[in-house]
Amino acid sequence: MAEGHRRLVAVSNRVGPLNDEGKAGGLAVGLSDALKRRGGLWFGWSGNTSSKGTFSEATTEVEGNVAMATIDMSEEELQGFYYGYANRSLWPLLHYRLDLAEFDRQSDRIYRSVNQRFAARLAPMLDDSDLVWMHDYHFFYMGSELRQCGFKGKIGFFLHIPFCSPEIFTALPSSHDIVRAMLAYDVIGFQTDTDRRNFANFCVRELNGQKLPGHRLQVGDRIIVADTFPIGIDAPGYARFAVSPEAGEHEEMVREIAGDRLQIIGVDRMDYSKGLVERFRGFERLLEEYPENRGTVQFLQVAPLSRSELGAYVELRRELEELAGHINGRFATLDWTPLQIMTRGFTRRALAGIYRAARACLVTPLRDGMNLVAKEYIAAQDSDDPGVLILSRFAGAKAELPDALIVNPYSTDDVARAIQRALTMPLDERRRRWETMRDAVFHGTAAHWCDSFLDRLERSGRDEDGPAGEALAEAHPS
């Protein structure tokens, strides 16, 4: 097949949507665009459980030159793989929350077997000329399982969430197994240089690997590429959403309700990595320390429920509702409620309108791979009167958006000071900061992310990389 026209095979836990009707996130936007351009297959979980689980018949939907193939999981697979190992062990650990991470042999076993089963189901659908691209922490072992099934083509992997420091990752009983399995990939992509370095340091310190020029790593006789590919949004598309009639209605509604008050917005899945408790405390500190804001600002936190089967998430919801009640009880007046929390979802157009009505957006995760809300907020702003982005130093997006007001989300005082600064920032400074951030968001789009990853994957194993998967120690002396 001609270069640049290999079939793309994408693998992610959830598949689709292929056509963005205003609901898709960065991953879906970037991938569906690339799949449609090259033709391809998107493979993953159907979202359903059945007694046959990963042995169930695959469901395939074809639209033009793209097929979407999905299989079920059994209830036991879903519990052990998704709720267990992926979200009770890996998610907290990779977000530096060793205190919340639980490790048990049973879910470790099921996680490996689901990876093996997904690989066994995908293998017969592949041709060695395909470019296979796996996504995220659900599929660390799947590349090596595909190799076991005999697949010889190129396989890339992208981690959407952080890769924690080796000191923390080694607490995972299977940390060595996971990283050794990841060496089956030809290219591993990370959101930031920090994540890439953490992974490389693990390979060096724990597996006696070595760093080679060109963001390559050698472990034993295996050489792979580990590089940084920050994910983006469809910025021009998002900017258009923000001026659509639906966005306009929502912007108008928020402005009408706010009246003369300045609106602050936060939009996050209800997840402990997003720093919501710390953010609420920062808002409370603002009202304590800068009393001129009492009655003149209001904060809307949109926080759709996520993984609500897990204890840590139930506890977080309880804590947030209690804290919101405490803050409102302490400061509210008959005609003013300082903080509102909503768990409902919005269409992306509606959300873009809400962003546009907000003078400041709080994106203060304790750890985040990238954080697309930060980029969406920037893309949605009105160039004549842009709002201010307050961004955690621990969000991947900070590397590309240093002109946001950067805060330490753990410091209540720092967050309060940044909100005060955002609320009082003169228009010319708001514009200046926003313009450089807009340029970054329009440059690092979802399409750019996808193309640069796939371009690196196509080039892997050639030139300086040497043939993939073969003994290369002699060709690349340290």
CB of 136 to ligand ADQ, least distance (A): 8
Question: Which residue in the list 95, 160, 215, 250 is annotated as catalytic?
Answer: 160
Q: Of 11 and 126, which CB lies nearer to ligand ADQ in the complex structure?
A: 11
With beta carbons less than 8 A apart as the criterion, state whether 465 and 218 touch: no
The contacts of residue 315 (CB under 8 Å, 6+ apart) are none
- Helix, strand or coil, per DSSP, at residue 67: strand
Residue in the block written with tokens 């396989």: 155
In 3D, which of 24, 381, 41, 433 has the Cα closest to residue 233? 24
Are the C-beta atoms of residues 233 and 328 closer than 8 Å to each other? no
Say which amino acid occupies 328: N
**Which amino acid is residue 267, in one-letter code?**
V
DSSP alpha helices (H): ranges in 140-274?
142-148, 166-169, 175-182, 193-207, 235-241, 245-258
Contact 12, 135 (CB under 8 A): yes
Q: For the CB of residue 146, give the shortest distance to ligand ADQ in the complex, in Å.
A: 22
The DSSP annotation for 383-401 comes to TTS--EEEEETTBGGGGT-
Give me the residues that bind ligand ADQ (CB under 6 A), please: 25-27, 160-161, 231, 267, 269, 302, 304, 345-346, 351, 368-373, 376
Asked whether the CA dihedral 111, 206, 188, 371 is positive or negative, the reply is positive
- For ligand ADQ, the closer of residues 107 and 192 by Cβ is 192
The dihedrals phi and psi of 264, each to the nearest 5 degrees, come to -110, 140
Q: Which of 371, 445 has the CB closer to ligand ADQ?
A: 371
Query: Whole-number minimum distance, CB 397 to ligand ADQ, in Å?
Result: 7
CA 164, 169, 174, 179 torsion: positive or negative?
A: positive
Of 88 and 112, which has the nearer Cβ to ligand ADQ? Answer: 88
Choice among 186, 227, 268, 368 that is catalytic:
368
Q: Which residue has the tokens 């546009």?
A: 356
Shortest spacing between CB 424 and ligand ADQ, in angstroms: 27
CB 453 within 8 A of CB 229: yes
Task: Please indicate whether residue 476 is annotated as part of the active site.
Answer: no
What is the closest distance, in whole angstroms, from the C-beta atom of residue 95 to ligand ADQ in the complex?
8
Contact 416, 285 (CB under 8 A): yes
Residue 326 among the catalytic residues: no
In the complex, least distance from residue 27 CB atom to ligand ADQ, rounded to whole angstroms: 6
Residue at 413: amino acid letter: D
d(CA 473, CA 454): 26
Considering beta carbons, is residue 188 or 472 the nearer one to ligand ADQ?
Answer: 188
Determine the Cα–Cα distance for residues 203 and 180; give it in Å rounded to an integer. Answer: 9
**Tokens standing for 406?**
């950067």
- Closer residue to ligand ADQ in complex, CB, 117/356: 356
CB 242 to ligand ADQ: min, Å: 12
Enzyme catalytic residues = 160, 368
